[in-house]
């Protein structure tokens, strides 16, 4: 696929030498450390609610991982209700994707991938659900599809729906190695973060990414990482 016109928020791809992009490089190093210690390869990105910046974080993390790897990285738009990965990446032929592959057992990973060769990144759009989304995500085909992807890619990043409004991310979490929770600093209520974390198996939560920190060293598009602790109030107090 030709080099597309990208959303300017995607600093890992559009401005990799910027200070903002360096923050995602730091997140990449954290993920690589976790991968060595916990065999983490398939990572879901979620948030307590809409508007916390999970999609921008997912794309920037995938871009940072791809830039730091000789092997290709796969980004999957698993937010089947409100997909936005293809739009932000300027992918126009996004009618077929994850939903179609999960609904049709004959469709392989290669059949639905869009290649962004300029960034060493492959992308699977959300596609077009033809049955109930919960039914699609409960399909045993999901595990088989991700297993196929594991054989092809160094890392797989899934942009998943917010946790509190719908149960989709909780269903997806069963098939991934870990979940990064994105919260908007000084905006996401502590109670909502606690509710979102309680919906997940605690062993799957890799950490919390604080987005849009208002301190002078951090701009609107930057994110920094905190390890996950069982005491949610302690973690959220940094927001």
Tell me the residue length of the chain.
239
Contact 123, 91 (CB under 8 A): yes
Mean per-residue pLDDT over the chain, rounded: 84
User: What pLDDT score does 100 carry?
Assistant: 93
10 Å Cβ neighbour count for 33?
11
Number of H helices, E strands in the chain: 11, 8
| Rounded distance between C-alpha atoms, residue 172 and residue 174, angstroms | 5
Tokens of 152: 């092809």
What stretches in the chain show pLDDT beneath 70? 1-5, 212-239
**Phi first, then psi: what are they for 93, rounded to 5°?**
-95, 65
For the whole model, what pTM was predicted? 0.87
- Over the stretch 130-172, which tens digit does the pLDDT of each residue have? 889 999 999 899 999 999 999 999 999 999 999 988 889 889 9
Angle at Cα 6 formed by Cα 92 and Cα 15, nearest 5°? Answer: 160
């Amino acid at each position: 696929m030709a080099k597309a016109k990208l959303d300017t928020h995607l600093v890992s791809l559009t401005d990799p030498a910027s200070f903002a992009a360096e923050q995602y490089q730091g997140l990449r190093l954290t993920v690589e450390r976790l991968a060595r210690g916990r065999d983490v390869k398939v990572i879901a990105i979620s948030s307590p609610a809409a508007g916390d910046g999970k999609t921008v974080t997912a794309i920037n993390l995938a871009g940072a991982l791809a830039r730091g790897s000789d092997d290709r990285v796969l980004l999957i738009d698993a937010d089947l209700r409100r997909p936005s990965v293809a739009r932000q990446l300027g992918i126009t032929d996004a009618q077929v994707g994850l939903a179609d592959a999960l609904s049709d057992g004959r469709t392989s990973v290669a059949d639905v991938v869009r290649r962004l060769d300029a960034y060493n990144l492959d992308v699977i759009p959300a596609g077009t659900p033809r049955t109930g989304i919960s039914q699609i995500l409960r399909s045993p085909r999901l595990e088989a599809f991700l297993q196929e992807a594991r054989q092809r890619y160094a890392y797989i990043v899934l942009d998943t729906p917010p946790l509190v409004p719908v149960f989709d991310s909780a269903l997806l979490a069963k098939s991934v190695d870990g979940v990064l929770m994105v919260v908007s600093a000084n905006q996401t209520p502590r109670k909502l973060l606690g509710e979102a974390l309680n919906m997940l198996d605690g062993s799957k939560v890799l950490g919390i990414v604080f987005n849009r920190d208002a301190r002078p060293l951090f701009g609107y598009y930057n994110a920094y990482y905190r390890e996950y602790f069982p005491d949610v109030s302690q973690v959220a107090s940094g927001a």
